[in-house]
Amino acid sequence: MKNQLLNILPDEKNLPNALDLSVDEWKSWLCDRGLPAFSAKQVVQWIHQKGVLDPEKHSNLSKSVRETLYKEFSWEVPKINSHLISVDASEKFLLETHDGHLFEMVLMPYDNRVTLCISSQVGCRMGCTFCQTGKMGLKRNLTSGEILSQLHIARENLQDRRITNVVFMGMGEPLDNYDEVVKACRLMVDKNGWGLSMHRVTVSTSGVVPYIQKLGKELPVRLAISLHEADDNKRSQMMPVNRKYPLAELKKALLEYPAHKRYGITIEYVIIEGKNDSIEEAKKLVKYLSGLKVKVNLIPINHFPGIEMKPSTASGLRRFQKYLSDRSIPAPIRYSRGQDISGGCGQLAAKHESELAMDPRVLHKNRRRIDRSI
């Protein structure tokens, strides 16, 4: 059953979740109860800026507001089903929603930043042939609160560092869950919320053109495009979204995207032996990218059971990379982090579905290895 007023998914106790409300929704909720609208800012600060999910501790609110908050909302965040730490120090969390769905997030500490890779949906309906999340199909959209919960859970697990960057590169197609994703992003960039600047939030998309345009008008955060192919026929085979929004339309939307000139656009190119790694393909890619300010991340495909595709050989990869960089397109090779803990998109949740039972020893063994290497 949905809460009519707020359009929010209630938890099992049938209460809406406090993390799902926007600043404006807090204002109306307070006004409807004859409570001061200015408290909306304070409630948002407690929840998102300070991470205090116990309304009794919201000390600058009146007792009656605190009691009502306690009674009328669920303050739960998804449970941690498993937590794996890689030898490269990235941490993967398999999270469980109140209605039993599994989704994942990855925390990636670097020397100068901490990037959190989050999910927007449980599964995905876009059906890309090389993607394990795509094979699951769509189970359901995550709510804005479930999206934001990932930041909360990551913060609780970070000892002395803080999240500096957020990327929507976990499970799901963010622009297929546009409203909830934008609602969550607004709280990420709100100074009373997470206070991240817009260029530190990246939405990655397979190319849902109308929503790229809408995002450009409403909240022009950074954009990453999962391109993987610059030939329409081949791309349509790999990525069904291309049948609806072919390459020319996608390019037009990218050229018009407001943040394009300022930050550029990241192009993700999963590189697959014998499919998209020839010089012929590199030529098409360079032609397609002309006029765009881009960086191309070359990502050797992660293998998973049930797919034939393999990553390019080291020499194939270098040849492709050189072709791009000789033409002034930066093209770093990015190995997915956390290979030893099922690093790729959707891989942990899928593995969980097939093998289940995470071995807690992996966590402790890797923690020891990291401690030794620091």
Residues of this chain that interact with ligand SAH (CB under 6 A) are 124, 130-131, 168-169, 173, 204-206, 226, 268, 270, 299, 301-302, 336, 344-345
For 339, the 3-state DSSP assignment is helix
Strands (E), the chain: 79-85, 91-96, 102-109, 114-117, 121-123, 138-141, 165-168, 201-205, 222-226, 265-271, 294-300
Q: Which does 270 bind (CB under 5 to 8 A by kind): ligand SAH, ligand SF4, none?
A: ligand SAH
Q: Which of 104, 180, 229, 281 is catalytic?
A: 104
Query: Is 117 one of the catalytic residues?
Result: no
Dist. CA 318–CA 340, nearest whole Å: 24
16 vs 300 by CB, closer to ligand SAH: 300
Query: Which of 143, 206, 302, 347 is close enough to bind ligand SF4 by CB under 6 A?
Result: 206
Query: Is 345 one of the catalytic residues?
Result: yes
Q: Does 202 bind ligand SF4 (CB under 6 A)?
A: no
Query: With the C-alpha atoms ordered 247, 273, 225, 80, is the resulting torsion angle positive or negative?
Result: positive
Task: State the nearest-atom distance from the C-beta of 169 to ligand SF4, in Å.
Answer: 8
Name the token pair of 373: 């290497």
Mention every residue, 6+ apart, whose C-beta is less than 8 A from residue 148: 19, 48, 184, 187, 188
Q: Does 131 bind ligand SF4 (CB under 6 A)?
A: yes
Stretch that binds ligand SF4, among 122-130, 183-191, 229-237, 302-310 (CB under 6 A): 122-130
Q: Does 124 bind ligand SF4 (CB under 6 A)?
A: yes
Dist. CA 254–CA 207, nearest whole Å: 10
Dist. CA 124–CA 82, nearest whole Å: 21
State the residue number with the nearest CB to ligand SF4: 134
Task: State the nearest-atom distance from the C-beta of 361 to ligand SAH, in Å.
Answer: 26
Dist. CA 85–CA 106, nearest whole Å: 10
Restricted to residues 156-195, the positions that interact with ligand SF4 (CB under 6 A) are 172-173
Q: Does 134 bind ligand SF4 (CB under 6 A)?
A: yes
Active site residues: 104, 345
